[in-house]
Amino acid sequence: MNIKKIAHSKIFTLLILLAIVIATFTILSNGAFLQPRNIRNIFQATVVVSLLTIGAGMLMISGQIDLSLGGIGTMCAMMAAFLMRSGLPWHLSMLAALVLGAICGAFNAVLVNEFNFQSFIATLATASIAQGFMAVISQGRQIDISDRTFNFIGGARFWDDLIPFSLIISLVLLVLYGIMLKNTKFGRSIYLVGGNADASRLAGLRPKRISYLLFMNAGALAALAGMLLAGRMMTSNTVGITNAQFQGLTAAILGGIAFGGGSGGMGGAMIGILILSTFNNGMTMINVPMHWQSVASGLVLLSALTADFLSSRKRTSA
């Protein structure tokens, strides 16, 4: 009975999928795939995506979507780099960038809650504005970062160079947010709002306040993601984390966070992120050209959606 339940759970399916991906690439790359350095690279690549997935995933659970996280994160990282170049210490620069991210999130929330925009178009507009500001701040060039501490936070590695510091940050945050979602009143209210906003209001929740908090939270996390990447590269460039936002969405959907909200959690999202990162790394290992990877990431998103569609059909018919 219990084993049957485990075998039917979403997480179990995802783990099998992960095992298949790992096995395939290990065979295709003649074992090079499982070298410790490469495993570290796979985990390193999850950092940015994890932070974006936490923010985007919680918004999706509450029934919203945010397509501006890549733009916001890139702009905030650029802002931090700009401030440090102008002589501000690293902690103030990081704080300013985090606040800026939260403000951008609040801007999204205003558009969605006060002006009734659909969240995808509101955040798409914010993304293009953020991209513009990023270009204004940077004048279209990358800004190098020489601050030791900032670069340490993004790029340091411990234990024989195998454990990135930023990975620890992202894992801690994933666990904290996961516990918050499952075990606190606030976490459960997010599910309620996503399941039925009207009913949740009647039950005494404040969907608007939750929406503001989630958008601001996602913006601040995006800023952190952008800065961690910038610290690792020791420079803030104009592409930044723009492409990672797409992976964040895909990981959330792959991990079982349903669109239109109401279900899913951080555990599934975590495995979703790992599957994506393994897949991307594997493609590089077996020398799939860069350009094909953009095609593949779109196809993975569409297949994740299809899987979601199939499983939800099974759930409703059962």
Partner 1 sequence: MSIKSLSRKLLLVSNNIAILLVAIVVILVFYSQNPNFLHDDNIRNIMRSMAFVGILTIGMGMLLIGGEVDLSSGAVAGLSGVLVAMLINTGIPWGWAIVITIAFGASLGLISALLVNVLGFMHFIATLGLMSVYQGVILVITRNVFIPVPNEGFRLIGGTSFGNIVPLPFIIMLVLMIAYTLVLSNTGFGRSVYMCGGNRKSARLVGIKPKKISYFLYINNGALGALAGVIITSQMATASPVAGQTGSIDAITAAVLGGVAFKGGSGGMFGCFIGILLINSFSAGLTFVGFPQYWQIVARGSLLVLALCLDYVISGARSRALEHALRSHN
Using CB under 8 A, list all residues that contact partner 1. 65, 67, 111, 115-118, 120-122, 124-133, 135-136, 139-140, 246, 249, 259-260, 289, 291-299, 301-302, 305-306, 309
Q: What is each CA distance from 118 to 38, 197, 245, in whole angstroms?
A: 41, 15, 19
Smallest gap from residue 165 Cβ to partner 1 (A): 31
Smallest gap from residue 137 Cβ to partner 1 (A): 9
Smallest gap from residue 115 Cβ to partner 1 (A): 5
Instruction: Choose between 119 and 166: whose C-beta lies nearer to partner 1.
Output: 119
Smallest gap from residue 311 Cβ to partner 1 (A): 13
Residue type, 290: M
Residues 173-199 as b or e (16 or more Cβ within 10 Å = b): bbeebbeebeeeeebebbbbbbbebee
Smallest gap from residue 233 Cβ to partner 1 (A): 22
SS3 212: helix
Instruction: Choose between 183 and 303: whose C-beta lies nearer to partner 1.
Output: 303
Q: What angle do CA 242, 290, 164 make, to 5 degrees?
A: 60
Distance (Å, rounded) from C-alpha 58 to C-alpha 27? 36
Instruction: Choose between 72 and 167: whose C-beta lies nearer to partner 1.
Output: 72
Instruction: Choose between 89 and 298: whose C-beta lies nearer to partner 1.
Output: 298
Distance (Å, rounded) from C-alpha 265 to C-alpha 177? 9
Instruction: Choose between 81 and 228: whose C-beta lies nearer to partner 1.
Output: 81
Distance (Å, rounded) from C-alpha 238 to C-alpha 71? 10
Smallest gap from residue 90 Cβ to partner 1 (A): 26
Instruction: Choose between 56 and 181: whose C-beta lies nearer to partner 1.
Output: 56
Bridge partners, residue 236, by sequence: 143
Smallest gap from residue 292 Cβ to partner 1 (A): 6
SS3 158: strand
Residues 123-132 as b or e (16 or more Cβ within 10 Å = b): bbbbbeebbe
Instruction: Choose between 77 and 127: whose C-beta lies nearer to partner 1.
Output: 127
Distance (Å, rounded) from C-alpha 211 to C-alpha 184? 17
